[in-house]
Chain A
């Protein structure tokens, strides 16, 4: 059978492969949802060109921040069905400390439930739920994708007056360098790595 030219041209131009949607979320060069550095349930996110965050989803906190070597930001991961961080470690939390609910003088451990993640315009967001008895708190954490410094933003919902949510680590500071031990209201807190 002979193909007429228009038909042949159409056939040649027809996409043989996947039609990729533009700007599809969860691009692996920025966000990697395979296990990272031996933490079974974890996510790695690239901020800017070379900074990577590694989140422990069961502890609801970043456990590592590192700078990728070279120019290519995605060189910060050794890839496979499990991944390893590659580069210079800037922060690492091996403490296994969890979030705590402080009520007056008493502190309570809480059951942590990961709710999921969202990629929005310019940021990546995680959500968790904390439970203590019948109490439920919701923690949101945003990582600006194009941040010019190592930054994360946190917000807790459900705290009562006089209650605070104690962070697992005090290594992160406010942008003006103040220490942050706890979240005390439902505003967004911006934290940076000194």
Chain B
């Protein structure tokens, strides 16, 4: 990461060709305040200091800032220009005159609108504001750069579960059995020992055995080890047990064969650690005698100095015999899931947040850097252009806290070889199809199933293909945690289900494969596919940005001869963007089945050069549509916003989850605490709700923790309005 030496120029001579980006034109100010045309910045999180520009030709652009700051923050600002990031150490200024500092020189590309972002540091408030008036963009070519209107996010069609909204029910081809006893079991690691014994660890530090050959319900779990330190991963290799504890990878050894583990052998702890609550070792897989796991980043420090211990956010491997330890990859944030992908590759999930504008599924590659960072000293693998994920898992559309990925066994019918992952907040199971394009892994994520009691964190397959899934939760609501934590057996019943199965990128579009043949003369009308696309901009504050979020043209739709595939011609394919494809609920299979879900997100890392999809003229009768494929009433915008952004933590029925329920919210009275600990009595109205969305920490409801991220950087004003109106109308 390039670090800027600040050149401080007192009103430098302006270039002949300069473009102003005034403070007043930013997307959102967060909790920062206006003084006329001046933005007084005290905190980064929740604000989006951004503009779009466009360039007619490619050339270098120098970006400067006009500001005053007598007492600078002790953390750097991020300046991003079309995804190119630099850091700026703010110098102290004297007097009230405006100062100008050069932030960097960037390459502007012609064509697409380019996002320019100024990102203040971390989540900490600074008592002394940086007063900011404008950015100045200087180039050599007259009128090459112009300010562009921020693209309005596309108006989305009305939604239903599985079609623009989170699923609510269990997949028709799954059968689930909850295996609960009367103890709290927050399952943190899971593995099979032999064919008939399931082992799992709990967050509090127990290791339990479940004899699947004598499975009863209520289950009889046998405690076989205890006293582990916050284990978050468990692996069995040739009968040996490995646990990834908070600060140490450990082998549990039963030397005398009495069934008790009396030796806790330290395989490795060769990396720095602190007392931060969020420093865990996530996941555990053994491959070729090496134990792989992730050491997660600290989180409490975000509100203070924001310094990570060196090498946090790495994938580490330790040799199970010698203890030799190596850093495999860096730039992970909360990589709460490691599993084997197809062909023995290792897949890792990561949770969105700072430097992660979305959740991710990455394929582990040696010396890769996945983009999370904090402050210098940088990770040894840090680099300006991060290794892209195999699949983005957009937040909160299809993931919020993704957990372990697991490759489906051959007993899982059409889904065999695909990857499932759980989610400790969003819930359910999501399904990923992966393909290699030009040597790079990418693919699509599909909603698969909700309707489970537990929030799944870890998985293990039996040889027969039963999937055991362990749930977990965090927070202060013990009843909620107890309710969603525990063990579930999931079985694929083989029942026939109609849904999109896979999506493959072609040079000129995407081919969607279905589990069944489409009904004759259906699927041909391009109006039956609602497609949007965007890129991502990572920011050092929580959230990040969708860039150039827009509706995509679907030029043609071609149904294959076997009617199992539809090729969508997409003329605006762009690398490093995500396509979200909605199918109409009216689409039916040849057997008359309706779609279980009609949505997918495809990550375009590479566009295949010589692999076009087949385009064919539609039969005349196939283009007729008795009624519109999609409706755009806008009436459920608020409910979709609630479902996507709020429902994981706030119920509508009065029950408590991580946050307070929204039942009877309008005009209700809330006891709250401000950041200084002062108690307030607040009547819920539009202003309070808006503030709670933009700055959740301003008034935290009594009995709950201040853990909600501010949403101002994620939502447009119109979306916040829709959400507030929806909440005020709740009964």
- Residues of A at the B interface (CB closer than 8 Å) are 14-21, 23-28, 31-35, 38, 40-41, 57, 81-82, 113-120
Contact = CB atoms under 8 A, between A and B. Distances in A.
Given A21-B259, A26-B264, A35 B275 contact: yes
B265 interface: yes
B181 A16 contact: yes
B260 A25 contact: yes
A164 B224 CA distance: 41
Nearest to A15: B220
A17 B226 contact: no
Q: Name the 10 nearest CB pairs between A and B, nearest first.
A: A26-B227, A116-B265, A116-B266, A33-B229, A25-B262, A118-B263, A18-B223, A19-B222, A40-B273, A114-B266
A47 to B, nearest CB: 17
Interface in B201-243: 205-206, 208, 216, 218, 220-230
A28 B182 contact: no
Contacts of B208: 18
A117 B247 contact: no
Contact of B275 (A18, A25, A82, A119): A82
Contacts, number: 97
9 contacts: A14-B216, A14-B218, A16-B182, A25-B225, A33-B245, A35-B247, A115-B265, A116-B265, A120-B262
B269 interface: yes
B633 interface: no
Given A21-B260, A41-B247, 14 more contacts: A17-B182, A18-B181, A18-B222, A21-B223, A24-B260, A27-B226, A28-B226, A28-B227, A33-B245, A34-B229, A114-B266, A116-B251, A116-B263, A118-B262
A30 B308 CA distance: 33
Interface string B266-302: 1001000111010000000000000000000000000
A78 to B, nearest CB: 14
B667 to A, nearest CB: 39
A48 to B, nearest CB: 19
Q: For chain A, what secondary structure do more than half of its interface residues adopt (helix, strand, loop), or is it mixed? A: loop
A17 B182 CA distance: 6
B250 interface: yes
B608 interface: no
A33 B259 CA distance: 21
Contacts of A25: 225-227, 260-262
B621 interface: no
Contact of B222 (A21, A27, A57, A114): A21
Nearest to B206: A18
A165 to B, nearest CB: 20
A88 to B, nearest CB: 24
Given A81-B277, A120-B262, A19 B220 contact: yes
Contacts of B265: 115-116
Nearest to A39: B275
Contacts of B259: 21
A17 B181 contact: yes
B266 A24 contact: no
A33 B227 contact: yes
A79 to B, nearest CB: 11
Nearest to B203: A81
A40 B275 contact: yes
Interface string B299-342: 00000000000000000000000010000000000000000000
Interface in B389-431: none
A41 B224 CA distance: 24
Given A24-B260, A116-B266, A81 B230 contact: yes
Nearest to A33: B229
B183 interface: yes
A31 B227 contact: yes
B427 to A, nearest CB: 25
B227 A114 contact: no
Contacts of B260: 21, 23-25
Contacts of B205: 28, 33
A33 B228 contact: yes
B248 interface: yes
A24 B229 CA distance: 16
Contacts of A14: 216, 218, 220
Contacts of A113: 323
Nearest to A125: B263
Contacts of A15: 220
A81 B278 CA distance: 11
Contacts of B247: 35, 40-41
A51 B206 CA distance: 25
A19 B275 CA distance: 33
A116 B250 contact: yes
Q: Taking each of B208, B223, B264, B273, which has the highest tally of chain A beta carbons within 10 Å of its own beta carbon?
A: B264
